Structure 1
Amino acid sequence: MTSSGPVSTDRETRAFPWAVVAIIAAVGLVLAGALIIWRSGLFVATLDADRVVLGQARSELFAPEVTVPGVVIDMTNTALPSSESGSVSEIHFRNGDPVTSGEVVLLLRNPALEREIADSLVRLGRDSLAIEAQIADLNRRVSDARSQLREISFRKRQAETELERNLVLEQRGFASPARMARLRDEVAFYAAEELDASNVLNAARLDADRRSERLNAAQARLERLSQSIADRLDGLAIRAPGDGQISGLALSVGEPVVAGDVLFTLTEGRPDRVTAQVMESAVHNLSVGLNARLREPHSGELRIEAIDPQARDGIVDVRLIFVSAVPGNLRAGQMVQVAIETEEPRMAITVPFGELVGPDTVWVYNDQSGEAVPRAVRVGRRAGSRIEIVDGLSGDETILVSAPRPVDGLSSVRIRARANP
């Protein structure tokens, strides 16, 4: 009896290579089909231009930022020292009271200063009267010399008119030589008198000018003395230098005060700083002097003023001071978002931050072909709405920032121009 076992085994052995060949052929057909599909553009998406966002890469000064929460604070406390010594005579406000600029908070009394000022005012009044009398005398002398010159000039013109009339009579033989001689002497006399009066007037004017300079200087000194007296008197009335709230006032009526003593503190209520809360792990990137800015909806430039050396629950307080005008809509205690630079600005290539940027790819758009293709890049740090591209992109290329549909797995994205209406 013949066995059939070995024949079946040989048949299976001969069929195995053909199965492998069939599998390889099938895989090849699949790959070839995929390649044909790839080249035919079946892995290419077409999007409308008005539904995508393009952005421009550019080379610019770049400073990485960290955005943290902060609170607006007020540190505009002004200590008010006394400019004069004396004793408290009146107190118009107490701690916690609001005041407006210029209001008298308290009054001081200084009898010695008041007597000194009274004596100075008497001397000031006497000297002012003397100067006014001298100025009046100068003006009177000039006025008298001018009046005398005017009178003599008038008489001279009369004598000249009479002489001219008699010259006509003399030509006709009706004027005596004696009369003509007297008229000529009279004209010569008034001419000499006019010259003398003119010299007197000029001398009076010169003297008035010289003395006026000295008098004006004396008047200026008196005005400065008067202002000094007014300032010292005003120094006894302690006024608020601005709007705010009184604090630190510990005086009572009758208490003595020495010039330079701090009388009270005025909290003006103007926000001028922000305290930001930064994670302890990020503080090592910060240093005093680095720039910062308020994030929208607010705006304003700040600079790091101080960094708290102690962390509380993993949070470090960083105090920033405004270096630009404080926005008028900010109030003490208001919460804000602060973008703080973590290093000095440097040149870098940046692109707008979007959903299609990173972590290791950007889509570079070609304006000539109207297509965007993926490119491998190395992404750096972010600052606001832009992010640094460390490698893989030049500073004049356009990228696809966002699209209305996913683009993963595509070979390219065609941007279809908007049709003209």
Structure 2
Amino acid sequence: MFYIKNPSELNKPWILSTPGDDKPVSIPLEVTKHLKNYHVMAVEFLYHNYRKGMKGSILNQEPGMNFPLQISAFFSAVVGGAAVVLVICSRQSMRFWHYHLSNHSKFHVVQLTTKNSKDDYKGNNKRLALLIPIDCLNLCEDVLDLDFFSVVIDDFDQIAIKRVVKKLEGKFNVGLTHRSFYMNPNQKLRWNMLNWANPGCVGKLGEFYEIDNRNAQLFVDNYRYWWFRLTWRFCESFKRPTDEETESYEQTVAAWASANALTFAPETEQKSRKRKYVDKLMLVRETETSDNSSREDAVVNEVPIDKYVKLPSMDESPIVTSIIKNFEISPDPIPTRTSLPYTQTQPNCSKYEEESVLFSFIEDGERPSTSKSESEKFILNLFEKGDNDEAKSSDIKEILKKADAVLQN
């Protein structure tokens, strides 16, 4: 089995910055000890884009990976003084956001309601986090004039097209979603999410359709700079929390909330309109698949160009695919037009730093080379060494050989 190094076992702060940076940036030890390997990979991705001067990013993960802890760890590293952040989330997850932002980012957290949303939060001289329930988006209108360090939206795919959401902007936007756009594609929704997180990064909608179709045919991930997909099968050392661990975690958060006299309103009932929309969507899907067509042959309905291009099946399970797709050097983004304002998303660091920052969890001296011919070496260095190093190395080399043959075909 292969294992990505676990930060909580290092017993020291997690260093995010790279040698040569003007100011060292790290996740404090008291936060690092709570992180798993998949947590720190997400934080590395966010920090990589933040230091390049991008306007934001999308984290796309499977349920259970704990977005609140990841974002709080990121804030603990990059927010040095007074700042205001806005977090939009479900009522069900609000207690977890409150817990992690308070304990792991040292923010003063305020749950916005109709009673306090119009209070004066300008001129704030401390670390302030405002929480808004996803079913009370109208409250966002009262805080649009605030200078946010970051706007974070959980379950972003559910509200990305809302008018008020498009008005929200921070110095660094973060969209969070569990939806797999491989299994449940929606090009217009994805375009809206990418454009909100990093305005202008993917051009006009029609151009996006055309390039996205080509990407699907060629298995090209043209959005890797702004969108990070992470699954439990990404690496064999990614372990889902057990039922006992999940229950203990929830009890810890509940006890903390009780000790601090915090109350959280229950989730409001879903509107009937939502139910009708879901029923309609299911009917459309049944109709699409009724003519002996498989999931792999599903047609993207919204595509105005090359309308009947069929999407290839996406198998997220093998570790071979995960390693190659996420750690090999992938193609640069394809500009959708010559005048696309890529200046706002171009890296402010060297090519070496850009392509290696996601590997900063490898100890100094073991950093990967950016040479494609040496990719095997830095993938080998990514994994912890054990008693059977020679066998592991041989296995990985064989995996890389087979994966390279697949990519060549």
Say which one has the larger Rg: 1
Higher strand share: 1
Q: TM-score scaled to structure 2, two decimals?
A: 0.17
Which structure features the higher share of helix residues?
2
Relative to the length of structure 1, the TM-score reads: 0.17
